[in-house]
Amino acid sequence: MVNAGIHQPDAIILDLEDAVPPGEKDAARFLVRNALRTLDFFGVERMVRINQGQRGLDDLAYIVPHNVHLVLIPKVESAAQVHAVDEQIKMLSQASGRKAPVFLMPILESGRGILKALEIAEASPNNVALAIGLEDYTADLGTQRTVEGKESFFARSMLVNAARATGIQAIDTVFSDVSDEGGLRSSVAEAKALGFDGKGCIHPRQIRVIHEVFAPSGDEIEKAQKIVKAAEDAEKHGLGVVALGSKMIDPPVVKRAMRTLKLAIDTGIVAANWLGEEQP
């Protein structure tokens, strides 16, 4: 927590669930509350993963009034679980005078949760992402995680589609072998190919690799810029068809190019006014 500014994550998660032994749950609440009150997180988003069920609802009293940006809800299997957290946050916000919203990220970790992915994604306007937890998911299926990931392909694809359908982000599961940078890089590349927007990490040394792989490559940026320029030119000349050389460019391709450039701009790779800079 203290070194958040050094490692430059997009967010930091304070965990009240699996990382805390049962006998330390109450002490962890006070620790997280005090951290939210006093620590400088150097501008990164402050997230807290609460416990399941009623204990998780009780956790909220220790975090909602104290500078949290987002709450991760573990093992979600229904919209009702999201509603319960949302309503508790509203009540605590009113009582504490909090005006800023508290965003939500349900974590899907079971077969039932995956099959309810769209319902869960639509459960609250405060949902900004769906995450998947594959250790619990594969245990629920009675199988084991493999390097190939065949056992989780369906679940990950379902989650990405539910996120896309509702306009929120999809966050992939963590890669647990901290010492295997090559394996991490392959895992992140696969997540990107499936349509995920980000990936959780369990150690600061994983942050750089995740950022590098999710960032658009030079070739991807160059191609996207050409497509967006062609679309801009077509619009200026009143043309209904976008052409790049001898190839027609469909609207979904333009949309994907714009998304690539937005990511490049958001990560500081490309200037926000790149199109204006290159025009005479």
Q: What is the DSSP letter of 60?
A: G
Of 161, 184, 214, the one marking the end of a domain is 214
Regarding whether 136 and 180 lie in a shared domain, the answer is yes
Q: What's residue 280's pLDDT?
A: 41
Q: What's residue 276's pLDDT?
A: 67
State the average pLDDT over residues 217-241: 85
Q: What's residue 262's pLDDT?
A: 87
Regarding whether 164 and 41 lie in a shared domain, the answer is yes
Regarding whether 197 and 86 lie in a shared domain, the answer is yes
Number of domains in the chain: 2
Regarding whether 181 and 59 lie in a shared domain, the answer is yes
Regarding whether 97 and 32 lie in a shared domain, the answer is yes
How far, in Å, CA of 226 to CA of 244, rounded? 8
Of 214, 232, 250, the one marking the end of a domain is 214
Regarding whether 49 and 125 lie in a shared domain, the answer is yes
Q: Where are the alpha helices (DSSP H) in the chain?
A: 4-7, 25-38, 53-59, 79-96, 111-115, 117-121, 134-141, 153-166, 181-194, 205-214, 218-236, 251-266, 274-278
Regarding whether 231 and 193 lie in a shared domain, the answer is no
Confidence band, pLDDT 50/70/90 cuts, at residue 278: low
Regarding whether 259 and 193 lie in a shared domain, the answer is no
Residues 6+ apart with CB under 8 A from 160: 170, 194, 195, 196
Regarding whether 157 and 41 lie in a shared domain, the answer is yes
Regarding whether 264 and 195 lie in a shared domain, the answer is no
Regarding whether 238 and 175 lie in a shared domain, the answer is no
Residue 277 has pLDDT above 70, yes or no: no
Q: What is the pTM of this model?
A: 0.86
Q: What's residue 88's pLDDT?
A: 98
How far, in Å, CA of 130 to CA of 70, rounded? 12
pLDDT tens string 137-185 = 999 999 998 888 899 999 999 999 999 999 999 999 999 999 999 999 9
| Domain that residue 252 falls in | 218-278
Least confident of 110-114, 218-222, 257-261, 266-270: 266-270
Residue 47 has pLDDT above 90, yes or no: yes
Cα 95-101-105 angle, rounded to 5 deg: 115
CATH number for the domain including 207?
3.20.20.60
Cα 164-151-115 angle, rounded to 5 deg: 45
Q: What's residue 279's pLDDT?
A: 45
pLDDT tens string 117-142 = 999 999 999 999 999 999 999 999 99
Confidence band, pLDDT 50/70/90 cuts, at residue 245: confident
- Look up tokens 């956790």; give the residue: 59
Tokens of 166: 């509702």
Regarding whether 222 and 210 lie in a shared domain, the answer is no
Of 182, 214, 246, the one marking the end of a domain is 214
State the average pLDDT over residues 177-200: 95
Least confident of 6-15, 90-99, 152-161, 240-249: 240-249
Per DSSP, the residues of 124-158 read: -TTB-EEEE-HHHHHHHHT----SS-GGGHHHHHH
